[in-house]
Structure 1
Amino acid sequence: MTLWLTRLVPNARSWEARRDLCGPIGLHRRIMSLFPSDAGPDPRAQFGVLFRSEDTPTGSNLLIQSTQEPDTSRLPDGYGTTLTRPLDALIDAIRPGLAVRYRCVASPVRKPGATTRALYNLPPVVALTGAAADDWWMRQADLSGLKPLTHHSHPLDAVQGERRPDGEAPQRVRHARTQFDGTAAIIDTGLLRTKILNGIGRGKSYGCGLLSIAPARQPQ
């Protein structure tokens, strides 16, 4: 199975691109429009679609990972420029002990037990920030077959919007986000490949969970 990575640079002059970048629901729909529409009840999972918005000096870029090459010709005229490449060489290079750079924008949360929720009047899912988010990431890194060597995190604006399931009342969507960057040593190649493929945490339909790695530069 080939894993594909697409970089989409939206055109600031395209009102459709500007509109999509303003909300997670529209952006999710736009990205999924690049894949076949007959993939069953969960096409995002069917095609392994994960994505992340990244701010650059020239504006926002989108990174889209998928198990099927997206049909970027389905984008509206003038929407933006795209470049798609396979990740086979990167995946094949994964081996124990290799030092890599990582990045992941994730939605760290804790799910308190029923007794704790009742005692402290907590919601079923509690967003984590600061040191608690860092602790969450360290656990996720371990479950991803990584041993962090350096680590940096900073909070991002939450993604929020409203989705309308067929025949149901509108539902509010909100995912707190933290960006995690650093270097790590690969400990378990199987775990790492699984997490790269499946993503980490909640909010995968809204730009969370994509784990990116690249070989770390060796000191001169």
Structure 2
Amino acid sequence: MPTLTQLVLNTRQRDVHRDLDNANKMHQRVMSLLPDDLGDSARAQTNTLYRLESTHAGARLLVQTSSNMITFDRLPDAYAISTATVDLTPLLNRLTTSIPIRYAITTNPIKTVGGRKETGLRGKRVPLTDLDDIYTWWQRRAAEAGLDILNHPTAIDIEHSITGGRGNSAAAGIRHHAVTIEGTATITDPELTRQAIVTGIGRGKPYGLGLLTAVPIENEARTA
């Protein structure tokens, strides 16, 4: 029973600011909401993914897990203004071939540099910053997730880098180039789409990247 939990964060709270400024601290915060006995690979074992969003209500944290296991009383006092959890199983079951969906993902588009070995760049992963390159990358990754984005609107927003250190510094250790992609698509392979939603897409999953959220457009229209 995959679940998606929404927390509207209290940005007046000091712990919230610390977590928002340091990806490693936010990762630790998210993992602290899970049971203690999951072992060293808890994130992968539970398919835990999360995404930070800015909304009119403030900062919103979406956390997805493979089952309903979030423990809200582990949050500091006044950390979240509101919380809500929904079972994703009905949504996943509604995903069928040829239906249109609306999706969103914050991800880390990269390429592996070729060239001469002596340049020191051969085999190095570098972020994509050109919009056309990002779109081409996403078109390929979307197809691997059972989604056809051709002839569909696609919005690409190049975000700031996600950084985080193990101490109080947010500048050291973790650095991911974040891009938010939103749009519509047609499902070509529902099983691949379900898998992509449950397990995420791309690199940086422990640090707020890779969570693919989707909703059938006809369902969106009925509930609007």
TM-score by length of 2: 0.88
SS in 2 for 1:73: helix
Residues of 2 paired with 1:37 and 1:68: CA distance?
15
1:59 Cα deviation after fit: 1.5
Give 2:205's aligned amino acid. Answer: K
Is there any run of 5+ residues in structure 2 with no aligned partner, and where? none
Deviates further, 14-23 or 176-185: 14-23
Deviations 1:112-163 (A, max 9, x none): 34xx262654261111122111111000000000001221111001101224
Q: 1:84, 1:34 → 2: CA distance? A: 13
Specify the alignment match of 2:36 in structure 1: 37
Letter in 2 for 1:152: A
Q: Structure 1: which 5+ runs fail to align?
A: 165-170
Give the root-mean-square deviation of aligned CA atoms. Answer: 1.9
Answer yes or no: is 1:126 the counterpart of 2:126: yes
Q: What is the CA deviation profile of residues 88-127 of structure 1, one whole-angstrom value per residue up to 9, with x for unaligned ones?
A: 11001010011000111000011234xx262654261111
What is aligned with 2:184? 183
1:167: which partner in 2?
none
> 1:82-101, aligned counterparts within 5 Å?
82-101=83-102
2:67 corresponds to 1:76: no
Distance in structure 2 (CA, Å) of the matches to 1:136 and 1:48:
23
Q: How many residues align?
A: 211
- Partner residue, 1:64: 63
Distance 1:68 1:117 in 2: 47
- How far, CA to CA, are the matches of 2:113 and 2:194 in structure 1? 29
Distance 1:131 1:197, change over 3 A: same
Q: Distance in 2 between matches of 1:118 and 1:150?
A: 40
Instruction: Report deviation, 1:85.
Output: 1.2
Residue identity over aligned pairs, in percent, reads: 36
Query: Distance between the aligned counterparts of 1:122 and 1:190, measured in 2?
Result: 37
Deviations 1:37-91 (A, max 9, x none): 2212211111111010000123210111101321112111211121111111100
Query: What amino acid is the match of 1:78?
Result: A
Distance 1:194 1:3 in 2: 11
Q: 2:193 is paired with a residue of what secondary structure? A: helix
Distance in 1, matches of 2:4 and 2:30, equals 13
Residue by residue, what CA displacement relative to the aligned partner does 1:2-36 show, whole Å, maximum 9, x if unpaired? Answer: 01000011112321122111111111100100101
2: CA distance, partners of 1:18 / 1:63: 17
Q: Is the 8 A contact 2:22 2:165 kept in 1?
A: no
- SS of the residue corresponding to residue 153 of structure 2 reads strand
1:201 match: secondary structure: coil
The AA in structure 2 aligned to 1:158 is S
